Structure 1
Amino acid sequence: MNDPQPQMPTGGHQPLAGITVIDLSQIYNGPYATFLMAAAGARVIKVEPPGGEPLRRRGVVGGAALPFAMLNGNKDAIVLDLKTAEGLAALTDLVRGADVLVENFAPGTTARLGIDADAMQAVNPRLIYASSTGFGVDGPYRTYPAMDLTVQAMAGVMSITGYADRPPVKAGPAMCDFFAGIHLYGAIATALFDRERTGIARRVSVAMQDAVYASLSSSLGMVWGTRNDPEPPPPRTGNRHGGLAEAPYNVYPTNDGWIAIICVGDRQWTRLCSVMGREDLTRDPRFASLKDRVVIMDEVDAIVSAWTGAHSKETAFAQLMQAGVPCAPVRTLPEVMEDENMHARGSLQWQDHPELGRIVIQHSPLRYDGADLLPLVPSRPLGADTDRVLAELAGSQKAKRA
């Protein structure tokens, strides 16, 4: 508990400097929203229960400690038992001087603990109270427990992921959690802006189900466009376009892996044909337009696969990029962690973490002109800042009374 707090260096004007955030959230979506706030200069005080939040506790399993470090750097770490009078009193004192409180507890938890929006905004009327839920604070699903997997199932993501002749599968990334986290950050930033103009501190909420719906647009377009067809197309299209409206659009084999290729118009198709040495296809009426190629996309994919299969993914990538054909080698996660573009831009950084050793950490994707990227401070041990933060709070309150 007496581990010294590293200094949080600054560079340029940080847009959220001076904003204090009480972070009661856990796992992915809330912590990602508050990480984005910390990366923009806000002071984020992460409040965990005794024993730590669930994501920290997962750290005993293999590499599961890395996600906690990815989402909780640049935050103070304190422990409060909100089931006790002392813990609740300490949180209440913190709220008096805060700008934002963020939570993503299961439905009904905040009311049982006495820390719901009514209670906390009664303590501090300028507090923006932000909640992330699975299915909304109202509506018939409001009491449903939500995890990324269950929201992917309910929201339709799983129904369109995979291949038509196989069972639905989840999307690889925890997309519902992180989509919700991004939207939650946007809601909080919007509410802070509104408070500056009007003095009104709003309650904001984001539902994971809502946050992901717009991303289904291609597949929704196909469903809508074929709603009157006697035999509508299958909902799962594998690596093909979700609306089956592009060809070529797929992942193609190479002699050492895979490469993704897409041609969104006739010009790119012509360039692809030239690279493949198949200029004859540009004169074949069966391939004359995008609409024609979509009709025979199996044949298109077979032709492209025959060419890519004779090359390495990097050779094919280099030739197609030189010709201006959109493509990318399918890279593994170890390759992505070493990505030269992200490291050059500071989007990925190596960090010597006191508990985990040398790790790769992401920075915020949000960039603000005139504000340098803040150095990434490692996530803190459980409760490392409790004594200091509460002592600062007591000193501040004593000064106000004097």
Structure 2
Amino acid sequence: MKKALEDIVVLDLGQIYNGPYCSLMLAFQGAKVIKIEPLKGENLRVRRKGDSHELLMLNSNKRSVSIDLKSEEGKELFLNLVKKADVIVENFSLGAMDRLGLGYEDLKEVNPQIIYASGKGYGLEGPYANRLAMDLTIQAMGGVMATTGFADKPPVKAGPALCDFLGGIHLFGGITTALYQREKTGEGQLIEVSMHDAIYPTLASALGAYYSSGGNVPQRTGNQHSGMATAPYNVYPTKDGHIAILCVADRQWQSLLKAMKRDDLLSDSRFQSNVDRSANTTIVDEIVTDWTSNKDKLEISDILIESSVPHAPVLSIEEVADDQHLIYREMIREVNHPVEGKIKVPGSPIRLSDSPLEEVIPAPLLGEHTEEVLQEMLNLTEDQLELLEERKIILQKDENDFQKVY
């Protein structure tokens, strides 16, 4: 079965999370993704001894080519690859690719059909564009930290790297949209996604409360609803941990009361509607806590499943790492890495019935496919490759040491 993006060639200059996650989604849909790295490897290889597990998680189904893009010969090799490519993915700091002479205007000169996808912290233009950006700084500037944590405590970052990954998946969406448009126009184009832009819509609850209340809304509400507009909506203590419970409909609240054997509250005027309950959030939380605190979280979960009340036990990272649902869904995939042995990496959250992800291939070692790709795409001879390696323009696989630089 032919994969959805099987004929697409992607040159991936992504680093850390943002760019690599975008290109991982492209690879999972069948694109030929060639990871272009410096001779020492991208940042996730450089900043830790050996390949970090994060790198292994985000670079499956790719090939690695190691080229010194700061050298004229390395730049020429890359431009020749661009002529054969469909997509460029990069998330370097603003202006880095232009300084190398490899910005969009440069690349479209050699390939007018190229789709150039640029992931940035604050975009290519705007008052913040020149600021250095990482997930933490975007969380700070974008309102995520202001809405995370408890009212009487300092702002807290969200645990996951939300901004990096939201930026990466929006970049994937931009690329696939541009590929569709290219089918009609024959022309490539520049795509840019700002992590700061991508995170803004996630503040819908907080912003909705802000605008509807005339600006009178708490910034941090702990585990309660961001706009304090739903109750119950919280994480409640149990005998062995915590459980999240929320009721977005009156019938769910009524079901919860019955599950808690508190039928006496069904007609209580303080709790008849969501508006009533939100005005009495503290009391609602006390009622629910009285019930949950004497039971195990999975015991509560079984009761609430039967009662059709939205909830979830709070799972630890250890529990998530071996989650049976994620394993069944093939989001957790086990692969054999040539150095690390058996490791667990993500599958694809995007499911196409006619383009299934049949195989997850371990992330490449640095320069593992340099020889293969340059011979296949540029018809370089072994003598030419050997000369380039001797001059430290490329790094290619050695039979005994995959990461040896000559």
* Shorter-normalised TM range: over 0.9
| Structure 2 equivalent of residue 350 of structure 1 | 334
TM-score by length of structure 2 reads 0.92
1:40 aligned residue: 29
Match of 2:5 among 10, 13, 16: 16
1:289 Cα offset (Å)? 1.2
Task: Please name the residue that 1:267 is paired with.
Answer: 251
1:372 Cα deviation after fit = 2.1
Counterpart amino acid of residue 186 in structure 2 = G
TM-score (norm 1): 0.93
Shift in Å at residue 356 of structure 1?
2.2
Matches within 5 A, 1:207-246: 207-227=194-214, 232-246=216-230
- Correspondence for 1:302: 286
Q: Quote the residue 2:192 is aligned against.
A: 205
CA distance in 2, matches of 1:373, 1:396: 32
Displacement of 1:395 in angstroms is: 2.2
8 Å Cα contact 1:136-1:206 kept in structure 2: yes
Residues 131 and 370 (structure 1), Cα distance of their counterparts in 2 relative to 1, 3 Å cut: same
Aligned-partner SS, 1:139: coil
Q: Corresponding residue for 2:391?
A: none
Specify the SS of the correspondent of 2:180.
Answer: helix
CA distance, structure 1, for counterparts of residue 47 and residue 362 of structure 2: 18
Describe the SS at the equivalent of 1:379: coil
Cα distance, 1:373 vs. partner? Answer: 1.3
Superposition CA RMSD, Å = 1.3
Q: Is the 8 A contact 1:59 1:66 kept in 2?
A: no
**Which structure exhibits the higher relative contact order, with contacts defined as CA atoms closer than 8 Å and separated by 6 or more residues?**
1
Q: Deviations over 1:229-273 (max 9, x none)?
A: xxx232100000111111000000000000000101110001000
Which residue of structure 2 lines up, in the alignment, with residue 193 of structure 1?
Answer: 180
Gaps of 5+ in 2: 382-406
Is 2:10–2:86's contact at 8 Å kept on the other side of the alignment?
A: yes
For 2:323, the equivalent position in structure 1 comes to: 339
CA shift digits 1:202-244 (9 cap, x unpaired): 111000000010000000011111226xxx2321000001111
Kindly indicate whether the alpha-carbon contact (under 8 Å) linking 1:39 and 1:374 is maintained by their aligned counterparts in 2. Answer: no
Give the equivalent residue in structure 2 for 1:380. Answer: 364
C-alpha displacement at 1:396, in angstroms?
A: 8.4
Secondary structure class of the residue paired with 1:328: strand
**Distance in structure 2 (CA, Å) of the matches to 1:53 and 1:110:** 15
* Preserved contact between residue 374 and residue 380 of structure 2 (Cα < 8 Å): no
Distance of 1:354 and 1:396 partners within structure 2: 27
1:30 match = 19
Please tell me whether the aligned partners of residues 106 and 145 of structure 1 are also in contact (alpha carbons under 8 angstroms): yes
CA separation in 1, counterparts of 2:310 and 2:341? 38
- Structure 2 contact 217–227 (Cα < 8 Å) conserved: no
Partners of 1:286 and 1:141 lie apart in 2 by 47
What per-residue deviation string (whole Å, max 9, x for no partner) do you get for residues 347-379 of structure 1?
A: 211222222232211111111112221311001
The share of aligned pairs that are identical, in percent, is 47
Partner of 1:120: 107
- Looking at structure 1, the residues matched to 200 and 217 of structure 2 have their Cα atoms a distance apart, in angstroms, of 20
Distance of 2:185 and 2:377 partners within structure 1:
28
Supply the AA of the counterpart residue of 2:33: V
Cα deviation per residue 1:133-178 (whole Å; 9 max; x = unaligned)? 1111111211111100011111111111000000001011000000
- In structure 1, what residue type is equivalent to 2:235? V
Deviation above 3 Å: which 4+ runs of structure 1? none
Does residue 1:54 correspond to 2:56, yes or no?
Answer: no
Shift of 1:314: 0.3
Which residue matches 1:400?
A: none
Deviation for aligned residue 1:54: 0.5
Q: SS in structure 2 opposite 1:349?
A: strand
Structure 1 counterpart of 2:161, from 166, 174, 187: 174
* CA–CA distance in structure 2, aligned partners of residues 222 and 60 of structure 1: 46
Amino acid at match of 1:18: D
Mapped contact 1:317–1:328 kept (Cα < 8 A): yes
Q: Which amino acid aligns with 1:43?
A: K
SS in 2 for 1:244: coil
- Look up the match of 2:392: none
Distance 2:335 2:363 in 1: 11
